Homo-oligomer: A and B are copies of this chain.
Amino acid sequence: MPVELRALQSLRLWHDVNLDLVHEGADLSVRQIAILLTIYLEPPPHTVRGLAAKLNVTKPVITRALDSMGKLDLVTRRRDTLDKRNVIIQRTVAGALAVERLGDIITARAKELPL
């Protein structure tokens, strides 16, 4: 099952999924989505500093994104016990479900693509 997406199919897929996201009022910014998926796809541990470097944004951006996503219970923070300056970002059940749901949306839209 090779992944063969041509440009027009790619755009159609991007359009359809974004439309779905807008429809269900999932108002996460592009940055927040990038952060969320990094946390759930890349191997832990994740720190503020590491995420900032990975996304090439400033640390306050990460802190604020974690604040807002934390309110939505999509991620949690914990102090690193070995180096108490560090904060370890952890996954949550609700976050895992949300990510899984996004995967389902994309997969479903990809299936519907015209060949």
A82, CB-defined interface residue at 8 Å? no
> Which residue on B lies nearest to A114, using beta carbons?
B3
A72, CB-defined interface residue at 8 Å? no
Q: Which of A6-14, A73-81, A87-95 contacts B (4 or more CB under 8 A)?
A: A6-14
Assess whether A41 is in contact with B28, with CB atoms less than 8 Å apart.
Answer: no
Q: Given A21-B30, A30-B21, are A9 and B3 neighbors across the interface (CB < 8 Å)?
A: yes
| Count of identical protomers in the assembly | 2
A97 shortest CB reach to chain B, Å: 13
Give the CA-CA distance A5 to B95 in the complex, in Å: 21
List of B residues within 8 angstroms of A38 by Cβ: 15, 19
Query: Which 7 residue pairs across A and B have the least CB separation, nearest first?
Result: A10-B106, A7-B103, A15-B37, A1-B4, A5-B110, A18-B34, A11-B103
